[in-house]
A and B are shown apart, each in its own frame.
Chain A
């Protein structure tokens, strides 16, 4: 079976053979749907359980059908309601307790810090990583390969041993507990450079040569010709960068951990993990997870549209 077959006129084939031709497609779709469910089920349960009262999460984590409007988790005396009062079978009575607890903290500030941080780092990386990747992929200069291996090498050492040296370095530079302290050290990353390098190597060389004949400088070629056709790779870089910064914990902890006004979402939410003393307050914790995940899902959904086959070279065919 093939997609091309599906698109072709099928007028002369009988309906039985049409079905036989389509059956694998339907099975394939079913397979996709199953994989999608497997990938997404844990998040569904995160959402469902974030909207339960604490006793209900422990008693019936599988209950997924809300059976009423939002309820209060405690009675008039302030005692928590028992699980038996709010779950039965697959149904549960939802509550916003987890979300109320999260929002009662400094959530908007953490959220804004995460946005500032992720946006600044991503903009820097788009520029710096793609310039570096292009240089490594296309330009000949002494030490090209050596520099590539050095950059790749920075990915290979466990970050745990770098914590202390980096902390001391940032302290000497006087940028601990500042926005720039969190942005500058992360403004370039080996993963992004490597990603862009591999991408640039796969685009046809003729494009630049044509520009070169016209007398364009490398910088002009890069910005006028190369970057515009690099949408898919830049999209991937953007997604990874935003995601990486959004979930970044260790750097944020070491650089701005002692200044709550600069805390990011991950720091703020991990400070809530201890809110139950020795034990985890699940609904609070899961509500935090939902609040962190949703914006990333939206970002991804918005950006994935740029992965459209054939767009990048529509202009190339004629050259």
Chain B
């Protein structure tokens, strides 16, 4: 909004460009500037996305050469048949195994994102603020150290994490040292939900029989199934193993997010800080009332990117758990991979991917409202 009001007044009337010409010229420049990027993304991502969208309407297995075409009477060896929205129906609505897998994956993915995004954003902001301080000695060292997990290949990181979190690994050894009565946790093979553990702790502990009952009249709801998953299981929280993967992911992405904040911090003029300091503001106040508000657009960016990344989590699951134990680390992106390349159901995989796309889009929109992007072009 600032843009539309300030630019014409700032433009000198002595230049003979009229208002309209200027707008047209700006539009041409704008399109010209974005054209190279758009052509590349359009050609190599957007077209393939449309093709994937078409796959989602077929029963293609992803192996039969696609050029063999539609299965018809004359072409019985074709590659695929159009099945309409059946794939979407299978994962979303139709009760059964596939629906259960999808919603389990969705549940796990959402718990994952809700846990990872706020923590990594907060940590990254604080770290960036600290390593940006003038007084800090060895800034380069600290920055590089914090960034290290981001540059190490995710396969190596995952393998090393598996080793640190194994039953007698570094983590358990360290905890045992601090607390000798500690009973070692098998971090990487533990399907118990963290929320379940918490609820057990405060006395909510439904028995096996209670989980088989669904009777709204007597308020026995734990066994009620919503989308093939029991209410009690919806409330599991991330499993211990998933929580371990969450820690790993927070640990590796903090560095990346810190760099983004670090870049943004450079655009806060130091005069702003100096003025505030003269007024007697403390460091914490500076951070709270100047840094955080001024970094709003960056926070929007970091949270958006973090959310999109978290909802697509794949690498660590692929390397560390393949979805286990008891499907508690099965994520939607991993389910897509499994359907496409292990189950040879490319149609179903594509439909799952499109649904994930829609979910991420909706989440991003909600998040956009929540973070309140404070930039000029907001409608």
A and B part of one assembly:
yes
Interface residues of chain A, those whose CB is within 8 Å of chain B, are 1-4, 6-7, 28, 32, 35-36, 38-40, 42-43, 45-46, 61-62, 128-129, 131-132, 134-142, 144-145, 147, 150-158, 160-162, 164-166, 168-169, 184-191, 193-195, 198-199, 201-203, 205, 209, 212-213, 215, 218-219, 222, 231-233, 235-236, 239-240, 243, 246-247, 266, 270, 285-286, 289, 292-293, 296-297, 300-301, 304-305, 307-313, 316-317
- Which residues of the other chain, A, contact B131 by a CB distance below 8 angstroms? 32
- Asked whether B152 lies within 8 Å of A46 as measured between CB atoms, the reply is yes
B164–A42 touching, CB < 8 Å: yes
With A145-B377, A301-B140 as given contacts, are A3 and B151 in contact (CB-CB < 8 Å)? no
Contacts of B134 in A (CB 8 A): 3, 7, 309
- Tell whether, in the assembled complex, residue A161 and residue B55 are in contact, meaning their CB atoms are under 8 Å apart: yes
Question: Given the complex, which residues of B lie within 8 Å of A140, measured CB to CB?
Answer: 3-4, 23, 26-27, 30
Among A2, A213, A304, the residue within 8 A (CB) of B12 is A213
Q: With A45-B160, A135-B30, A165-B51 in contact, is A160–B15 under 8 Å at CB?
A: no
Q: Quick check: which of B86-94, B203-211, B225-233, B296-304 contacts chain A, the rest being far away? A: B296-304
CA distance A285 to B157 in the complex (A): 12
Report B73-101 CB contacts with A as 1/0, cut-off 8 Å. 00000000000000000000000000000
Given A6-B135, A297-B144, verify A162-B336 contact (CB < 8 Å): no
Q: Are the C-beta atoms of A202 and B7 separated by less than 8 Å? A: no
**Residues of chain B with a CB closer than 8 A to A310's CB:** 266, 269-270
A162 to B15, CA, bound (A): 50
Interfacial chain A residues near B379, Cβ < 8 Å: 145
By a CB distance below 8 angstroms, the chain B residues around A137 are 377
- The residues of A that contact B259 with a CB separation of less than 8 Å are 236, 239-240, 304
B375 within 8 Å of A (CB atoms): yes
Query: Complex formed: what's the CA distance from A38 to B336 in Å?
Result: 33
Complex Cα–Cα for A292 and B151 (A): 9
Min CB–CB distance A85 → chain B (angstroms): 23
- In the complex, the chain A residue whose C-beta lies closest to that of B145 is A36
Among the 9-residue stretches B191-199, B236-244, B356-364, the one with 4 or more Cβ atoms under 8 Å from chain A is B356-364
Chain B interface (Cβ < 8 Å from any Cβ of A) = 2-4, 6-7, 10-12, 15, 23, 26-31, 33-34, 36-38, 40-41, 43-49, 51-52, 55, 62, 66, 127, 130-136, 139-157, 160-161, 163-164, 170, 251, 254-256, 259-260, 262-271, 277, 282-283, 286, 294, 297-298, 300-301, 304-305, 308, 312, 314, 332-333, 336-337, 340-341, 346, 349-350, 353-354, 356-357, 360-361, 364, 375-377, 379
Interchain residue pairs A-B with the least CB separation, the first 3? A139-B30, A141-B30, A135-B33
Q: Is the CB of A152 within 8 A of B267?
A: no
Q: In this complex, which of A1, A215, A239 has the most chain B Cβ atoms within 10 angstroms of its Cβ?
A: A239
B148 partner, pick from A43, A45, A165, A213, beta carbons under 8 A: A43
Can you name the residue of chain A whose Cβ is closest to the Cβ of B156?
A289
> How far does the alpha carbon of A239 sit from the alpha carbon of B47 in the complex, in Å?
28
Contact B267 A42 (CB under 8 A): no
**A195–B346 CB distance below 8 A:** no
Which residue of chain B has its CB nearest to the CB of A190?
B41
Tell me if A's interface is mostly helix, strand, loop or mixed. Answer: helix
Q: Tell me if A162 and B130 are in contact (CB < 8 A).
A: no
Contact B142 A36 (CB under 8 A): yes
Residue of B135, B143, B152 near A3 (CB, 8 A) is B135
> CB within 8 A of B40: which of A168, A184, A285?
A184
Tell me the minimal C-beta distance from A207 to chain B in angstroms: 12
B255–A199 CB distance below 8 A? no
Given contacts A141-B26, A190-B41, contact A317 B269 (CB under 8 A): yes
11 A-B pairs besides A153-B361, A186-B44, A191-B305 with CB distance below 8 A are: A1-B283, A7-B134, A39-B148, A42-B149, A42-B152, A128-B40, A139-B33, A147-B38, A293-B156, A297-B144, A307-B143
Q: Known: A141-B26, A160-B349, A304-B140. Contact between A165 and B264, CB under 8 A?
A: no
